[in-house]
Chain A
């Protein structure tokens, strides 16, 4: 086995082996001296010198020589150079990072067990100076063990880790690994990725750049993606029938892979009871819609599930994406008070009312009036007041509208020819309206600028999502909107004049439309974008958001944010918490999560697929408020990613190619030094030397005593 020496100069010390021999042969009599009257009768006996030159105790001499040799070897700092030792030593102390995918796609067949074994193997050959981190990731990443000095903590963590209901995102995991490796001072860096390497989790824009020299090892579990049946998003169409709200679920089942048609059963469950069942034949690599009969929605927080029955599915099936959970409550129509000009006919706001009536979902409850602004109690029943072609009232009416807006309501002023406001009431409205301007020449004016970042126009951001440019405006009010912190212009005509502007008033807002929302001044009402525009305008003015029927696993709900809770359908929970009433959330796994009242922030992490039920503490008798959580359907796409693509992307420019020139030599020296330090053979040699010296001391003492006891008078005379 080849042996290397870090400081071979100390091997010169091996010459010290001859020291005991030389000392033995050359040293004079022992230091003990007897002063004697005269040496006249004593003499040097020739055979005595011969006896000294003869080595009697070869074993003792060997012990001494061997001890000196071991000392010299220890100081030369030896190390083993064979392949095994080299492999063990690697490139010196190494910072290992193991990324373990625990997304729910790892539940297929034995992928998880294989991944755990691979992770254990990855930390199996650590050196004494290595450090290792275990990063568990799904769509987020967390370091379960960070820079531990041994594999024990890793193994303990692997014994307790489990699969989550979340999707795969490689970006956070690689970013965390990059951070750990960059912060490490160890010369070697190693990254091991244990994953099924789904393509869906990789965008290619993660922006990961591992430290130079990092060794990347990809352990892909589940090479062949199995066929999979997944239930995509479901639509819950709502309408009203005979005064009751009906919901019509429609699901879409997607099948990836497969060679033949597959018959499956799809059921609809409400509050734990199967309501409907459908038989569906799935073609290979195809998608089939599944329509259910509408059902009447009567109870709040009705928990529904559309589920593909697992019977008949292949064994290698990802089951988590075969169900979609939702929570529905009877809709709350947005109350709209439409104030037309006094004495105006019913057609004055025909397009506007028709647009609001065709809304699906919660819908709008429109009350038309040509009278004065109602009292505060009546205003409290609506969320939006539309002043259609009538001015913002002054006096007490205007005061009530300002208070209504400040309390969170929305006021939409459609200017028309009579709209406007006085200087007294202008503090609640954006800018100053001027005279009517005609744009009748040519094709009329058009909208030249839309703020697509604003909620009103956000819906129309993408291509083919609505074209406002086709709408022509023949008449509009001139309008000066000076810059103000609370004022923003949401749309402008092609001549630059404002078309739509908003001013925040307290918790609410006022919006002004410079033209009309009918077919007289503009043909906008004849365009496809009109209805959704009106809906978005009124929705935004109301301050309401859509209530989500389900969340995706991994999302976090800010319990202390009333608006977020309203969006989640948990407005009453938010109100209870605001009233200092505690709540308890029960996760699908049965784990209890306290939602304490008081100043936040308090968060509810929705990590598990199913229903999170929220109740007052100790009140199991009340119907719980629920939140549905579904797995990310994107995880159902099991198409694999090319490991080399990932490696090429996350490695830095130099990759793990060894540095050149002096850096190479230095790296080599560092490796040798690290190898020697890791093996630490000198400790054993030094210990052996001390043991030999101790043994030599004991043995030599015994030999001396034995020689003293056996010493007798020898018949040898001397004359000097």
Chain B
């Protein structure tokens, strides 16, 4: 099962539990701690050296920006070369974080909410990306864009600040939000969408296609609370929708099986359609460490490198 697979940690990697991460207020410190630990644990991984550090010199041709001339090489060879690798190998990494009210859910009073988990995840990814010299940006949305930080090599701090102060409170609608995000994110790059995707699959795909259709590489991180996956309630209870406030009497034992099937089907359908449309879909359990997310992100970067 997908969510069962999502709960499984990567073998050989020991990551900090989200409950521990929740004690770190500084997102930058949190991201550095997580990412450095992750990289140290992967010192034998085949992804090492896959970064875009390889410099490539091209002979200068008239019209090139003289600011890019490699003067040290000119001094050694007396030829003009232009350093091209930096400008071409760096990518824009834009993180779109769902801050709708449903993201504020956390079934474990001592654990983290989905938004917290999204916050840690995004911080780590942005820190990791910045370590790869990518330009990072961030946008928070519910049914609209709430905060927007464009991609820039210097915007990690701003992005982390936006992440830190992000609050969930309004109802969400993926399509108009991603539509506006697509309009703002001009240059093609990597777009990370972090949401719980409480949308019909069709409508969610329509929204994701807005980004995919503009040439972005999409990494879809779907965060779900364990309670959303397992519905571990017994007593007949009124369930209240965090976004709409609607209440509904529910006998969980009567609904559980159908609920599981619905959730499973929704997750599977979204994943399959994302895969079909060359989007990376990662289901994350908010009670599990961030290793799965980081691995999947590295996979995305590897694919991107090979494609390039």
When distances are taken between beta carbons in the complex, the residues of chain B under 8 Å from A45 are: 250-251, 254-255
Q: Are A41 and B237 within 8 A (Cβ)?
A: no
When distances are taken between beta carbons in the complex, the residues of chain B under 8 Å from A32 are: 235, 237-238
A716: nearest chain-B partner, CB-CB: B254
When distances are taken between beta carbons in the complex, the residues of chain A under 8 Å from B251 are: 45, 48, 51, 714
Q: What separation, in Å, do the CA atoms of A713 and B249 have in the docked complex?
A: 16
Q: Are A717 and B261 within 8 A (Cβ)?
A: yes
Q: Are A718 and B258 within 8 A (Cβ)?
A: yes
Q: What separation, in Å, do the CA atoms of A718 and B250 have in the docked complex?
A: 10
The 8 Å CB contact of B253, one of A31, A47, A714, A717, is A714
Q: What separation, in Å, do the CA atoms of A48 and B233 have in the docked complex?
A: 16
When distances are taken between beta carbons in the complex, the residues of chain B under 8 Å from A42 are: 239, 248, 250, 255, 259
Q: Are A37 and B102 within 8 A (Cβ)?
A: yes
**Is B240's CB within 8 Å of the partner chain A?**
yes
Q: Which of A524-546 contact B (CB under 8 A)?
A: none
* Chain A nearest Cβ from B152, distance in angstroms: 33
Main secondary structure, interface of A, reads loop
**Is B66's CB within 8 Å of the partner chain A?**
no
Per-residue interface assignment for chain A, residues 39 to 55, with 1 indicating a CB less than 8 Å from any chain B CB and 0 otherwise: 11111110110010000
Per-residue interface assignment for chain B, residues 249 to 289, with 1 indicating a CB less than 8 Å from any chain A CB and 0 otherwise: 11101111111011100100000000000000000000000
**Is B243's CB within 8 Å of the partner chain A?**
yes
When distances are taken between beta carbons in the complex, the residues of chain B under 8 Å from A33 are: 237-240, 247
**Is A712's CB within 8 Å of the partner chain B?**
yes
Q: What separation, in Å, do the CA atoms of A45 and B239 have in the docked complex?
A: 13
When distances are taken between beta carbons in the complex, the residues of chain B under 8 Å from A717 are: 255, 257-259, 261-262
Q: What separation, in Å, do the CA atoms of A42 and B105 have in the docked complex?
A: 16
Q: What separation, in Å, do the CA atoms of A47 and B255 have in the docked complex?
A: 11
Also in contact, A716 and B258, with CB within 8 A (given A30-B236, A34-B237, A37-B196): yes
When distances are taken between beta carbons in the complex, the residues of chain A under 8 Å from B254 are: 45, 47-48, 714, 716, 718
When distances are taken between beta carbons in the complex, the residues of chain B under 8 Å from A28 are: 238, 249
When distances are taken between beta carbons in the complex, the residues of chain B under 8 Å from A464 are: none
B243: nearest chain-A partner, CB-CB: A38
Q: What separation, in Å, do the CA atoms of A40 and B201 have in the docked complex?
A: 12
Most buried by A among B105, B241, B250: B250
Q: Are B238 and A715 within 8 A (Cβ)?
A: no
Q: Are A711 and B253 within 8 A (Cβ)?
A: yes
Per-residue interface assignment for chain B, residues 167 to 209, with 1 indicating a CB less than 8 Å from any chain A CB and 0 otherwise: 0000000000000000000000000000010100000000000
When distances are taken between beta carbons in the complex, the residues of chain B under 8 Å from A51 are: 251
**Is B78's CB within 8 Å of the partner chain A?**
no
Q: Are A36 and B242 within 8 A (Cβ)?
A: yes
**Is A26's CB within 8 Å of the partner chain B?**
no
A40: nearest chain-B partner, CB-CB: B198
Q: Are A41 and B266 within 8 A (Cβ)?
A: yes
Q: Are B248 and A34 within 8 A (Cβ)?
A: no
Q: Are B263 and A711 within 8 A (Cβ)?
A: no
**Is B234's CB within 8 Å of the partner chain A?**
yes
A41: nearest chain-B partner, CB-CB: B262
When distances are taken between beta carbons in the complex, the residues of chain A under 8 Å from B246 are: 39
Q: What separation, in Å, do the CA atoms of A543 and B172 have in the docked complex?
A: 131
Q: Are A34 and B238 within 8 A (Cβ)?
A: yes
Q: Which of A12-69 contact B (CB under 8 A)?
A: 28-45, 47-48, 51
Q: Are A44 and B248 within 8 A (Cβ)?
A: yes
When distances are taken between beta carbons in the complex, the residues of chain B under 8 Å from A160 are: none
Q: Are A718 and B235 within 8 A (Cβ)?
A: no
**Is A708's CB within 8 Å of the partner chain B?**
yes
Also in contact, A38 and B198, with CB within 8 A (given A33-B240, A713-B256): yes
Q: Are B255 and A37 within 8 A (Cβ)?
A: no
Q: Are A36 and B196 within 8 A (Cβ)?
A: no
When distances are taken between beta carbons in the complex, the residues of chain B under 8 Å from A715 are: 257
The 8 Å CB contact of A39, one of B236, B237, B239, is B239
Q: Are A719 and B262 within 8 A (Cβ)?
A: yes
Q: What separation, in Å, do the CA atoms of A708 and B251 have in the docked complex?
A: 12
* Chain B nearest Cβ from A28, distance in angstroms: 6
* Chain B nearest Cβ from A694, distance in angstroms: 24
* Chain A nearest Cβ from B146, distance in angstroms: 18
Q: What separation, in Å, do the CA atoms of A606 and B256 have in the docked complex?
A: 103
**Is B114's CB within 8 Å of the partner chain A?**
yes
When distances are taken between beta carbons in the complex, the residues of chain A under 8 Å from B105 are: 35-37
B199: nearest chain-A partner, CB-CB: A40
Q: Are A30 and B238 within 8 A (Cβ)?
A: yes
**Is B143's CB within 8 Å of the partner chain A?**
no
**Is B217's CB within 8 Å of the partner chain A?**
no
When distances are taken between beta carbons in the complex, the residues of chain B under 8 Å from A40 are: 198
When distances are taken between beta carbons in the complex, the residues of chain A under 8 Å from B262 are: 41, 717-719
A715: nearest chain-B partner, CB-CB: B257
Q: What separation, in Å, do the CA atoms of A720 and B236 have in the docked complex?
A: 17
**Is B142's CB within 8 Å of the partner chain A?**
no
When distances are taken between beta carbons in the complex, the residues of chain A under 8 Å from B198 are: 37-38, 40
**Is B225's CB within 8 Å of the partner chain A?**
yes
Also in contact, A44 and B249, with CB within 8 A (given A38-B241, A718-B258): yes
Q: Are A29 and B225 within 8 A (Cβ)?
A: no
**Is B147's CB within 8 Å of the partner chain A?**
no
Per-residue interface assignment for chain B, residues 101 to 130, with 1 indicating a CB less than 8 Å from any chain A CB and 0 otherwise: 111010000000010000000000000000
When distances are taken between beta carbons in the complex, the residues of chain A under 8 Å from B102 are: 37-38
Q: Are A38 and B242 within 8 A (Cβ)?
A: yes
Q: Are B234 and A34 within 8 A (Cβ)?
A: no
When distances are taken between beta carbons in the complex, the residues of chain A under 8 Å from B86 are: none
Q: What separation, in Å, do the CA atoms of A10 and B248 have in the docked complex?
A: 39
Q: What separation, in Å, do the CA atoms of A25 and B57 have in the docked complex?
A: 81
**Is B157's CB within 8 Å of the partner chain A?**
no
The 8 Å CB contact of A712, one of B227, B235, B253, B266, is B253
Q: Are A37 and B234 within 8 A (Cβ)?
A: no
* Chain A nearest Cβ from B281, distance in angstroms: 18
Q: What separation, in Å, do the CA atoms of A712 and B255 have in the docked complex?
A: 11
**Is B228's CB within 8 Å of the partner chain A?**
yes
Q: Are A713 and B257 within 8 A (Cβ)?
A: yes
* Chain A nearest Cβ from B263, distance in angstroms: 6
Q: What separation, in Å, do the CA atoms of A715 and B253 have in the docked complex?
A: 8
Also in contact, A41 and B263, with CB within 8 A (given A712-B253, A714-B253, A716-B255): yes
Q: What separation, in Å, do the CA atoms of A44 and B238 have in the docked complex?
A: 11
When distances are taken between beta carbons in the complex, the residues of chain A under 8 Å from B255 are: 42-43, 45, 714, 716-718
Q: Which of B52-73 contact A (CB under 8 A)?
A: none
Q: What separation, in Å, do the CA atoms of A510 and B114 have in the docked complex?
A: 134
A37-B101, A48-B254 are known; give 10 further A-B pairs, CB within 8 A.
A34-B233, A34-B238, A38-B102, A38-B241, A41-B266, A44-B248, A714-B256, A716-B255, A716-B258, A717-B259
A sample of 20 cross-chain residue pairs with beta-carbon separation below 8 angstroms, ordered by A number, consists of A29-B238, A29-B250, A30-B235, A30-B238, A32-B235, A32-B238, A33-B239, A33-B240, A33-B247, A34-B237, A35-B105, A36-B240, A36-B242, A37-B198, A44-B248, A48-B254, A711-B253, A716-B254, A718-B254, A718-B259
Query: Which 4 interchain pairs have the tightest Cβ spacing?
Result: A717-B258, A29-B249, A37-B102, A37-B105
